[in-house]
Amino acid sequence: MATVTTSRSSAARSEPATALDGLDSDLGWSIRMVSAAFRRVATAAVEDLPGGPRGYLVLVALASGETPSQLALAQQVHLDRTVMTYLLDDLESDGLITRRPDPRDRRARQVVITDEGRARLQRAREALEVAEGRLLSALGDDDADQLRRLLARVAHAAQREALLTDEDC
């Protein structure tokens, strides 16, 4: 078997060539595989929430403490305003959120998570934690924590970039 020198870390290492050398060093492939696996386990973990994963993201954003307007919330979770309106209708009909006029701008509506919304969010988080544990089982706790931190940094940078692109339109 041939030996290939790769530069995946600052120190080059030699290892036997495998059929996956091209793929396992490709960021796009890795993101796609992890994204597809996460989508499967996450969707199952939050399927009892209206809107599934989208509903979960809205509840997580609302549980952070701020009381955003519908528009600000749509921008934060990167959902189209029309999609957000229908999703909030469903969450509200299940008693997970309420909407009220914004005291600073009566034309805008603030979105508030309810106690029932917090309880359902907590159950979804517990189910998601189990699912994520299965997905990240190949990593130790420290590596899993580091992966989460690094992905959060990349996600925030991507969100900022998306917002800048949206402003250019």
Check if the beta carbon of residue 50 is closer than 8 Å to that of residue 94: yes
69, 76, 75: which is closest to 97 by C-alpha? Answer: 69
CA distances from 82 to 75, 114, 132 (A): 12, 22, 30
Neighbours of 139 (CB within 10 A): 12
Q: Around 83, how many Cα atoms within 13 Å sit in the side-chain half-sphere? A: 11
* Sign of CA pseudo-dihedral 147, 76, 96, 84: negative
Q: What is the pLDDT of residues 79-133, one digit of tens each?
A: 888 899 999 999 999 999 998 888 888 788 889 999 999 999 999 999 999 998 9
Of 137 and 14, the structure prediction assigns the larger pLDDT to 137
Does position 7 have pLDDT exceeding 50, yes or no? no
CATH 1.10.8.420 fits 41-135, yes or no: no
Q: What does the pLDDT read at residue 163? A: 61
Over 90: is that where the pLDDT of 56 sits?
Answer: yes
Cβ–Cβ under 8 Å, residues 59 and 117: yes
Domain ranges within the chain, ordered by starting residue: 41-135, 138-169
Residue with tokens 């091209």: 22
pLDDT of residue 78: 86
Gap between the Cα atoms of 102 and 119, Å rounded: 25
